[in-house]
Structure 1
Amino acid sequence: MRPPSPAEKSQQAALHASLEAILRRDPGGSYPRSDPRTQWRHHAALRLGEQRTGIDPLTLARAALARAERALEKDGPESPAAHIGHHLIGEGTEAFERELRALPGYRGTRRPGIPRGLAAPLTVLIACVLVMGCAAYLLGHPAAPWARIAALVCAVPLAAVYASRTVRALPWRPRMDLPLPRLRPEDAEPRSAATLVVVPAIVSSPARVRALLDRLWALHEAHGGAEFRFALLSDFADAATETAAGDDAVLAELEAGIAALNARAGDAAGDRFFALHRVRRWSATQQAWMGWERKRGKLLELMRLLHGDPAAFAWRFGDVGGLLARTPVPLVITLDDTTRLRAGAADALIRTALHPLNRPRVDERTGRVLAGYGVLQPSVEFTFGGAGEDAEPARRAAGPSFAFTALGAGVHQGAGALYHVDAFRRALDGTFPDDLVLHHDLLDGFVARTGEVYDAVVQQPWPATYLAQARRGHRWLRGLLQTAPFIAGLRGNPLTGAQRFFLGEASLVELGTPASLVLLPLAWTVLPGPAWVWTVAACPALLLPFLSLIHRILLLPLRRGRGAGPGAALGRLAMGAFAQVVLVHQSLVAADALVRVAWRMGVSRRRLLEWAPRQEPASPLSEYWRALWLSPVAGVAALGAVAWWRPQNLLLAVPFALAWIAAPAIVGLGDRLVFRPGADRSPRVEGAPDGSGGGG
């Protein structure tokens, strides 16, 4: 492609200046206050619109301006449609394109990519085709009825895995509003309101209080802007009685510690540090005295407090009343005692939240967030050895999730999230029943509408051992499975169809691990047809990365340095291999979570909020043998069954069985190599969730 001539450059500069003049007449006033990236996206949208509609950019800009002016006159300045960006890079782009069809010269072409509304139907269609194909094959070949039923039951979650991965690989239509628009730093400051950075936690001793207060001071040093305030949201540990020995010592340490921090900060404008502590309440499901609804309850009570509820938090240390009298607190950022926002992340979240196109619009009748975002979630970067600028990444922060780009349902992961106080309170206060929601982050984020700010990064330490990761995964999966009543609409319907689909798909995909374990021995012993076909189909964690690797290798001659090579696919293949090593244990974790949730929700109604603080000490090798004892047993049993029924399949079964037999030693020794300082790092278990669930 030849470079533009001087005359062409002059024409482009003149066009840019003309477009800039129109855009700066934005009736809502957001364009002049937007950062350069957001302004550039306005211009890019106009150029792209010319290619797609055949209408010149100046006409498009004038049409968008006229549409914004009409919205300003009709709905007032608070309407998002009063901003020109709403029609070019916001949620009004599709309606604007429909209006353009009436303009002379319109010769519209379809926007590239598959429409996002087809993501859920395509996933269901592919999964149904796979299950029906499996059923047709089994019915057409001789097999024991029980084997057919077992294989079909296993086929459902495995089909969900294949359908989910296939749909994610398709070329979906890009969202015009990503990355989310953001204000310029100079237009977001000076800020007339405060942003409260909170650390929810359970405190069981004065030593724990001191550690958390040190954490608050570290946050103050990292985010020293005048608009930031810092608060500890704390509960006593669960107890058999409403009060317990040591409670008074904890309260005394909180009071003295907060006073010392404020004296150390010496801010003439008022206190910068606060501690908000709650009384225990009786929980019928836990049969214990505890903080109401754990972390979810603390956040809801905080939102009530910021709206003037005098009953929120029994103990308040620091001049909370003075803070609320001096300045409003519209935004809250939540961190825990181990996560850390990377440099600039808090500022990026705030400038994104303050942009008019992102501000949440709440339905006055239902309280649901209809547009904008009540929660902003940064990307999560997992690190080895704690969080910090020098921490070694275990897994780099990724871009926006598929749920956000294709389903419109941003995923709230808890760590580092920013809440819009008013929208969060109105959307969630009283929405979910007590004593049921364990993994509250996903549900809260769906109802309050989560936007993903993927160029802001929060660091979260990687679990110190495989066993710690498995315990987190067990808690995460229990929380996910406890969303079943909301997926089915049995507890009202606070979720959209796309959000319910996301939760249902995620639950089925997690059950693909035990389905794989059951299907493999069936394939080697009783199922009809070639055993190797069943074996391959039962291992999506190996098959899908292998196909991706082959695809990348075949494209290498064409890419010539453009894009990624096969390294990422090799990494995923290694993860898939490790997933086969721990397949028995991961299946036990998933099955245990499923049985516990079914019993607790369907029969006992007890321990639905069961949560344990993170305790990740180094585990001796004997601990791995105690935790993974079933894996060697399953390996020996599989070899015996194959040798008895179909010895010709031993060649297929032996690699899997040997991996299961050696799993405790492989995992135990691997942890020591992975977490030894300076050692190479191994990948996470495929399918094991990272979320820490709802605790604190």
Structure 2
Amino acid sequence: MTSNGTLAAQASTVASGRGERNRALVYTGTIGVTTLALAGLMGWLTRSLGGGAVLAWWAGLLAVPVTSRIAQQAVHTVLQAILPDAAPLSDLDAQATEAAVARTCLVYPVIVHDEQDVEDLLTTMRDSRRDAGSGFVAHVALVDFADGNSPTHPGDEKLSRLIEDRIRVAHDCAPGPPMFALFRARKWNSADGVWMGWERKRGKIVEFVRVVNGSQDTTFLANRTATAALQGVRFVITLDVCSRLCPGSARQLVATIAHPDNCPVVDRETGQVVSGFTFLRPLIASRRARTLFAWATRAKQRSAKITVMQQLFGRDHFFGQGIFEVTAFAATLNDSLPENAVLNHDKIEGMYARAAYESRAMIIEDSPEDYLASRLRDHRWARGDIHLIPWLFAGPKSTLRRLPLLDRYRVLDDAVGHLLPPVSLALLACGWLALPGARAGLFAAVVVLVPLLAGHVLFRPILAIARPFRRRFISGPTTELVGHPFLREHYRHVRHKTLAELASLPTGILLMADRAVTLTDAVVRAGYRTVASHRGILQWTAARTQTRQLRDGVWVRYRTMRASCVLSLVLAGVIWSVNPSALPFAVPLLMLWLVAPLAVYYSAKPTVRIPFTTR
């Protein structure tokens, strides 16, 4: 849907943009002031415990990433307590939804290394085809083969035949929309010196949109049947191979994005989406395993932020899985990003073309059961977020499109979030080396526990107490709320959620040193590649492939996590030499970090699958 930008529409857009800028200034300014105040409090605490002026300044400076996260939690808690509950986005009725479904297809971007990748792909396609229901145009696998040193490999033909045969069998076994596979030829990447699928997932999506729009200028190998079936597609749902759509979610996404209130409107003069949404993102929950390291999903961790963002600014984040509108995507994102520059392209695309959160649809994704696989995934996420830092400095003369204040804050916030374990470890080292005896232990307790407990023990109870008293359907004086069924259920849910998250805190302390080493490596590596070498930026391996490549054994864990173990021993030696009175208070944490690989090994042994859950 496009617009010539009439005077009335332009005036409305300018007013809306000015209002968003004002809200963004207040929002980011409040978080910034709170961050500096808390950092100053950390400096004062250091000084009060016997540290010198220089140490107090260093402690305050190092605490900024930590206090920024605490400040953000505090601001979000206040906003959630005072803002009314956001109404869901408008959606179509059943009849209109079916008409939109008839112009929607589902795609599964994947890199195939071996036959197990084929099995995973077909399992996801079969399950999603069953859960999505009938009426969709097609389910399409967008396939890249593994990187190589030549345009073709001997195993490519075998894998492509296997995929086509398995798709044919799956299609014949159960009725439903057609299933296809589109294979891409490798293209020479001069930056990395390798033959690979052009721009990985971003390239697959961009070229698929070109195929839908009738273009033949892509690296997809010819498939006339699929190409003919895809003409006229308006909406595309993207799913990762490790994910599964819940029944009814696909139709809910279509019903919402196809509603006139949500359809993206593109200004032809600026090429920007001025209203509506190009992307919709569902709730992403995890199929968790009952192990020590069953991390909460990224979506769950960000659910409060997402709610506040949409309530305040009318738009939200996009993390790569969801639905998008083809015409707006082609108009705004076709050539919007430079090549070999971005790994986390989904975030920046959501900022460019406007995204929203659809809470009534849900995707279930597998999260790594082994900490080492989770570690590799976190490393990749951190590298991807650091690659976006150049957008903070994009100006009128830059080749990068300038982002508004809110989006620049989001880029900075994601990047700073990866510094939390490294700066926490640096603060601990400063306290152990410079503060005497028990004061070093008190300082360490503050550094470790306050950031972990702030949201779970302080802000969550405040929110739990405040929210029910503004609910419209509960009337009368506050004394009548005591014993109200809604209130009892509300507090029971809050208590259950708080205790569940508190149970993960020991794991966070146990793995603090290794996460600090891992994320420091990711930040330094990504920064060097972005600024200097410009190589290896698109380095990526699927989580399932990484899990299969892991070798078992306790010594494998120690070898992989050896940097954090060596760091613990070095810290112990330095503390014993410089400030021996603090060593007894440092030893418990240092010992925990030394045995962390052993705990990781034993936690990964027996795993029991439990039902899907968003809690």
Band of TM-score, shorter chain: 0.7 to 0.9
Inter-partner Cα distance in structure 2 for 1:352 and 1:407: 18
- Corresponding residue for 1:241? 150
Confirm or deny: 8 A CA contact 1:342 1:459 kept in the other structure. yes
Which protein shows a greater Rg?
1
What are the equivalent positions in structure 2 for 1:104-503 lying under 5 Å apart?
A: 118-134=26-42, 147=55, 150-172=58-80, 174=83, 178-191=87-100, 193-205=102-114, 208-209=117-118, 212-213=121-122, 215-254=124-163, 272-317=178-223, 319-324=225-230, 328-384=232-288, 398=303, 400-415=306-321, 417-489=322-394, 491-503=399-411
Inter-partner Cα distance in structure 2 for 1:322 and 1:552: 53
Larger relative contact order (CA 8 Å, sep ≥ 6): 2
Deviates more, 1:183-192 or 1:601-610: 183-192
1:576-611 residue CA offsets vs partner (Å, 9 max, x unmatched): 322111110000011001110122122211111111
Confirm or deny: 8 A CA contact 1:361 1:372 kept in the other structure. yes
Q: Specify whether residues 127 and 201 from structure 1 end up closer, same or farther in structure 2 by C-alpha distance, changes over 3 A only.
A: same
Inter-partner Cα distance in structure 2 for 1:552 and 1:192: 39
Q: Specify whether residues 531 and 222 from structure 1 end up closer, same or farther in structure 2 by C-alpha distance, changes over 3 A only.
A: same
- Corresponding residue for 2:534? 605
Deviation at 1:315, TM superposition (A): 1.5
Which residues of structure 2 form unaligned runs of 5+?
469-478
Confirm or deny: 8 A CA contact 1:199 1:334 kept in the other structure. yes
Deviation at 1:476, TM superposition (A): 0.3
Inter-partner Cα distance in structure 2 for 1:672 and 1:209: 26
- Corresponding residue for 1:628? 561
For 2:452, the aligned partner's letter is L
Confirm or deny: 8 A CA contact 1:375 1:418 kept in the other structure. yes
Inter-partner Cα distance in structure 2 for 1:393 and 1:585: 16
Confirm or deny: 8 A CA contact 1:202 1:236 kept in the other structure. yes
For 1:291, the aligned partner's letter is G
Q: Specify whether residues 145 and 203 from structure 1 end up closer, same or farther in structure 2 by C-alpha distance, changes over 3 A only.
A: same
1:217-254 residue CA offsets vs partner (Å, 9 max, x unmatched): 44333333123411111112111122222233344445
Confirm or deny: 8 A CA contact 1:361 1:371 kept in the other structure. yes
Confirm or deny: 8 A CA contact 1:447 1:494 kept in the other structure. no
For 2:199, the aligned partner's letter is E
Inter-partner Cα distance in structure 2 for 1:519 and 1:466: 25
Match of 1:567, SS state, is helix
What are the equivalent positions in structure 2 for 1:94-113 lying under 5 Å apart?
A: none
Deviation at 1:641, TM superposition (A): 4.0
Percentage identity across aligned positions? 26
Inter-partner Cα distance in structure 1 for 2:336 and 2:405: 17
For 2:71, the aligned partner's letter is A
Inter-partner Cα distance in structure 2 for 1:554 and 1:647: 45
Deviation at 1:533, TM superposition (A): 5.2
Inter-partner Cα distance in structure 2 for 1:212 and 1:562: 40
Normalising by the residue count of structure 2, what TM-score does the alignment of the two structures yield?
0.82
Deviation at 1:204, TM superposition (A): 3.6
- Corresponding residue for 2:452? 542
For 1:665, the aligned partner's letter is L
Inter-partner Cα distance in structure 2 for 1:198 and 1:135: 52
Inter-partner Cα distance in structure 2 for 1:210 and 1:573: 37
Confirm or deny: 8 A CA contact 1:123 1:163 kept in the other structure. yes
1:50-79 residue CA offsets vs partner (Å, 9 max, x unmatched): xxxxxxxxxxxxxxxxxxxxxxxx989x98
Match of 1:525, SS state, is helix
- Corresponding residue for 2:476? none
For 1:563, the aligned partner's letter is H
Match of 2:605 among 669, 672, 682: 672
Q: Specify whether residues 313 and 253 from structure 1 end up closer, same or farther in structure 2 by C-alpha distance, changes over 3 A only.
A: farther
Match of 2:415 among 507, 512, 519: 507
The number of residue pairs the alignment matches comes to 569
- The structure in which a higher percent of residues are helix is 2
For 1:616, the aligned partner's letter is T
Inter-partner Cα distance in structure 1 for 2:332 and 2:567: 48
1:458-506 residue CA offsets vs partner (Å, 9 max, x unmatched): 0001212111111100000000011010122254334321111011012
Inter-partner Cα distance in structure 1 for 2:97 and 2:265: 20
Inter-partner Cα distance in structure 2 for 1:470 and 1:205: 23
What are the equivalent positions in structure 2 for 1:564-575 lying under 5 Å apart?
A: 564=491, 565-575=494-504
Deviation at 1:449, TM superposition (A): 1.0
Inter-partner Cα distance in structure 1 for 2:372 and 2:39: 34
Inter-partner Cα distance in structure 1 for 2:131 and 2:371: 31
Confirm or deny: 8 A CA contact 1:242 1:289 kept in the other structure. yes
Deviation at 1:427, TM superposition (A): 1.4
1:4-27 residue CA offsets vs partner (Å, 9 max, x unmatched): xxxxxxxxxxxxxxxxxxxxxxxx
Normalising by the residue count of structure 1, what TM-score does the alignment of the two structures yield?
0.73
Q: Specify whether residues 678 and 568 from structure 1 end up closer, same or farther in structure 2 by C-alpha distance, changes over 3 A only.
A: closer
For 2:245, the aligned partner's letter is L
Match of 1:315, SS state, is coil
1:139-166 residue CA offsets vs partner (Å, 9 max, x unmatched): 8998678745643441221222222222
Which residues of structure 1 form unaligned runs of 5+?
1-73, 82-90, 99-113, 387-391, 684-696
Inter-partner Cα distance in structure 2 for 1:207 and 1:466: 21
- Corresponding residue for 1:581? 510
Confirm or deny: 8 A CA contact 1:431 1:494 kept in the other structure. no
Inter-partner Cα distance in structure 1 for 2:166 and 2:598: 46
1:490-529 residue CA offsets vs partner (Å, 9 max, x unmatched): 5433432111101101211220110000111211221589
Deviation at 1:214, TM superposition (A): 5.1
Inter-partner Cα distance in structure 1 for 2:212 and 2:96: 25
Inter-partner Cα distance in structure 2 for 1:538 and 1:292: 44
Please tell me whether residue 662 in structure 1 is matched to residue 589 in structure 2.
no
Q: Specify whether residues 660 and 214 from structure 1 end up closer, same or farther in structure 2 by C-alpha distance, changes over 3 A only.
A: closer
Cα-Cα RMSD: 3.8
Match of 1:460, SS state, is strand
Q: Specify whether residues 643 and 115 from structure 1 end up closer, same or farther in structure 2 by C-alpha distance, changes over 3 A only.
A: same
For 2:540, the aligned partner's letter is W
Confirm or deny: 8 A CA contact 2:131 2:246 kept in the other structure. no
Match of 1:431, SS state, is coil
Please tell me whether residue 563 in structure 1 is matched to residue 490 in structure 2.
yes
1:300-333 residue CA offsets vs partner (Å, 9 max, x unmatched): 01111111111124314361343245xx210000
For 2:374, the aligned partner's letter is Q
Q: Specify whether residues 170 and 553 from structure 1 end up closer, same or farther in structure 2 by C-alpha distance, changes over 3 A only.
A: closer
Inter-partner Cα distance in structure 1 for 2:295 and 2:250: 20
Q: Specify whether residues 639 and 600 from structure 1 end up closer, same or farther in structure 2 by C-alpha distance, changes over 3 A only.
A: same
Inter-partner Cα distance in structure 2 for 1:125 and 1:334: 39
Inter-partner Cα distance in structure 1 for 2:45 and 2:547: 47
Q: Specify whether residues 320 and 568 from structure 1 end up closer, same or farther in structure 2 by C-alpha distance, changes over 3 A only.
A: closer
Deviation at 1:212, TM superposition (A): 2.9
Match of 1:350, SS state, is helix
Please tell me whether residue 520 in structure 1 is matched to residue 428 in structure 2.
yes
Inter-partner Cα distance in structure 1 for 2:577 and 2:214: 72
Confirm or deny: 8 A CA contact 2:88 2:358 kept in the other structure. yes
Match of 1:487, SS state, is helix
